[in-house]
Structure 1
Amino acid sequence: MITWIITAEIAFWIVIIFGLISRYAFKMPKLSIFFFALTPVIDLLLIILTIVDLKRGTPAAISHGIAAIYIGVSIAYGKTMIAWADDKFQQWFLKKPKKIRLTGKEKALHEMNMLARHIIAFVIGACALYGMVILVGTNTDATPLLQIMRIWGIVLVIDVIISLSYVFFPSRK
């Protein structure tokens, strides 16, 4: 299962790179949109492969939980990751100047936005994980899936604390 997750991640970045190359090097914006539109297809394939793997009777494992995290993060942060890659591509290959580092209120707002995305990813991942628990039913031990949820919950609490620190203790220039 972990091989499928790694393959999905590699495929995600390959279609992003192809999208950026077609947009900037070949000046084909419609083709770039096609490549960017493939990213949710990759997520869908990973969901299908995870379900098939569990339906075949494979015991629920941490890798299935990681697949749920990947799907949640990919959906919640996908557009942000593409924008980040677009910005980096322009900096590296088109020599666009770097963005000014955010501080103060702007940094706090950015961190709150990223926290909201993390919460969305958590909810999507949790739904996927609990869907897997229901799917495996009583036929196999779902403990690894629930352990992933607990660990991710701890990570989310840490993210909340760090993100809120930018609100209460804004960074200075």
Structure 2
Amino acid sequence: MIVALIIACEAGFWVLLAVGLALRYLARMPRTGAAVLLLEPLLELVLLIVTAIDLKNGAQADWKHGLAALYIGFTVAYGHYMIKWADGHFLHRFAGGPPPVRPPKYGMPRARHELKLWLRTVLGMAVAAALLQIAVWYVGEDGDIASLRGTQGAAARILLIHGVIALSYLLWPRKDPDQGRTATSTTETEPGPTRKTLR
């Protein structure tokens, strides 16, 4: 049941996003579209309530409850970011808006972008870890909490792996290949000394 609800919440997220943006730009109903988009957090709230009720009714805490916590944490951290991304693309494609700003690809700008994404992951995993800890306290040390503790460990590993990836962009920044070609081209086209200068 929990897994099916997670899938339904994910599908519902994209459905509400599409409907909200369509109302906002295609139907020219920005307030109604914004109201639909504001319903997005209710999906995570429903998942949280159902998960809590499932545990309260005596269900054994297992990986499904841990997955629900990770999903809620991810949507808390990245939900607004994904809505903003989709809004920019929808505005450009259907409402004549400017092209969406793409994330930088090279150098320190890319490193800063990756750091910001990692900070979102920190928030998401912190939310997931907190929800899992609440579930641990609820079940009690005498209950089977191994899967919940295991999911907390998985959250820590996700955070660590993403942190290493973000750090790699800082330690080994990618160089813009066009920058080298531009510098070479400029050097080749520089005028050499004229005969008058040599005199």
Shorter-chain TM range is over 0.9
Structure with more contact order per residue of length (Cα contacts < 8 Å, sep ≥ 6): 1
1:112-155 Cα shifts (integer Å, max 9, x gaps) = 11000000111111000111111122463111111111122112
User: Which residue of structure 1 lines up, in the alignment, with residue 182 of structure 2?
Assistant: none
Segments of structure 1 that go 5 or more residues without pairing to the other structure are none
DSSP 3-state at the match of 1:140: coil
Q: Cα offset for 1:70?
A: 0.8
- Tell me which moved more, 140-149 or 118-127: 140-149
User: Which residue of structure 1 lines up, in the alignment, with residue 30 of structure 2?
Assistant: 29
1:164 pairs with 167, 170, 182, which one?
A: 167
Runs of 4+ in structure 1 deviating by more than 3 angstroms, as ranges, are 90-101
Pair 1:135-2:138 in alignment: yes
Q: Cα offset for 1:98?
A: 5.7
User: Which residue of structure 1 lines up, in the alignment, with residue 49 of structure 2?
Assistant: 48
Work out whether residues 25 and 94 of structure 2, in 8 Å CA contact, stay in contact via their aligned partners in 1: no
DSSP 3-state at the match of 1:59: coil
Q: How many residues align?
A: 173
User: Which residue of structure 2 lines up, in the alignment, with residue 115 of structure 1?
Assistant: 118
Q: Cα offset for 1:94?
A: 5.1
Q: Percent identity?
A: 34
Q: For the aligned residues, what is the CA RMSD?
A: 1.7
Higher Rg of the two aligned structures: 2
Please report the TM-score for the alignment, with normalisation by the length of structure 1.
Answer: 0.92
User: Which residue of structure 2 lines up, in the alignment, with residue 3 of structure 1?
Assistant: 4
Segments of structure 2 that go 5 or more residues without pairing to the other structure are 177-199
Q: Cα offset for 1:88?
A: 3.3
Pair 1:126-2:129 in alignment: yes
Q: Cα offset for 1:78?
A: 1.2
Q: Cα offset for 1:87?
A: 2.8
1:153 pairs with 143, 152, 156, which one?
A: 156
